[in-house]
Amino acid sequence: MSARRGLHFVFKVGNRTDTIKFYRDILGIKVLRHEEFVEGCKAACNGPYDGKWSKTMVGYGAEDNHFVFELTYNYGIKSYKRGNDFRGVTIWSDKAVEKIKSAGYKYTQASDGCLLVEAPGGFPFCIADKDNGDKDPVVKVTLSVSSLQKSLEYWNKLLGMKIMKQTDTSAELAYSDSQCRLELSQISEPVDHAEAFGRIAFSCPRVQLPEIVAKMKETNHVILTPLVSLDTPGKATVEVVILADPDGHEICFVGDEAFRELSQVDPKADQLIDEAMQADKSAEWFAKHGSSKGVQQ
């Protein structure tokens, strides 16, 4: 399982302009690549929507050795109702802390010293005033689970993630010590994904994809997409499998070989997202009509 690695977490964003500003200007995260699509993704990467959408990958470095974020934007959807499924992202960056404070960005101070801030859309981030050296500043992603024991049976025993740290109500897992960790935090109510639900992605050798599907079938676990090829115009075609854990958290496994080719940093990424935002008149339309095609938070 050591050949597997964490890749990214997918957020559905309603306000692309404010979201990019938050990541790029406040957190100091780079735009790595940007793609526009005329119709929905075969693996529902952008959620259950069939129209025009975009994908923007952002992170502190290339996806070969950093955990990054995929920002999916559905044209015409202003906002998404959030559930209790996503608990937050932990980042170690003294530079991000400085920017949050100097920009006058709204935050609260946690007991452990972290700055608690929200990305546009209400997604929580915990920013620690620490220099992570040459390591990835993205330390962990935290998701809610209804039964820690049942979740560990799935993530540890079926998907092969190592338990790095555990308490009675939470556990941190990863495929190796150097990777961003997935923290599972038990809550006392059912996990509600609402409409803003995301997806966590991992890569594995392409040969393991059919094996993952077979194991899920044998154990009667949910397979959302058995095995599908995803095309990106002018770039590599990747094969993916989409699963759902016992609480319905979506999980993507992608063939590593093709993904490394697809995920190369595009030097024109900043220009492409800026041009797309400038050409998008959705905000003006909503302001003029005073309504939203999406669900207000």
176 Cβ contact list (under 8 Å, min separation 6):
2, 5, 162
Q: How far apart are the first and last CA of the chain?
A: 39
Give me 57's structure tokens: 């990958």
pLDDT in tens, 117-148: 999 999 999 999 988 888 899 999 999 999 99
Q: Which helix (H) or strand (E) holds 21?
A: helix 16-21
266-282 CB burial, b ≥16 within 10 A, e <16: beebeebbeebbeebeb
Does the pLDDT of residue 290 top 90, yes or no?
no
State the average pLDDT over residues 282-296: 56
Phi, psi of 124 (to 5 degrees): -80, 140
* Beta bridge pairs of residue 138: 91
Task: Give me the pLDDT at residue 49, please.
Answer: 87
Q: Which of 180, 205, 177 is nearest to 63 (CA)?
A: 180
111 Cβ contact list (under 8 Å, min separation 6):
none
Question: Which residue has 């024109």 as its token pair?
Answer: 268
Does the pLDDT of residue 50 top 50, yes or no?
yes
Q: Which domains does the chain have, with CATH numbers?
A: 5-286 (3.10.180.10)
Other beta carbons less than 10 A from residue 265's beta carbon:
15
96 Cβ contact list (under 8 Å, min separation 6):
26, 27, 28, 127, 137
Task: Give me the pLDDT at residue 234, please.
Answer: 76
Task: Give me the pLDDT at residue 285, please.
Answer: 58
State the average pLDDT over residues 11-21: 96
Q: Is the pTM of this model over 0.85?
A: yes
Report the distance separating Cα 277 and Cα 282, nearest Å.
9
Encoded amino acid at 178, one letter: S
Does the pLDDT of residue 297 top 80, yes or no?
no
**What SS3 class is residue 7?**
strand
Other beta carbons less than 10 A from residue 264's beta carbon:
14
Task: Give me the pLDDT at residue 294, please.
Answer: 47
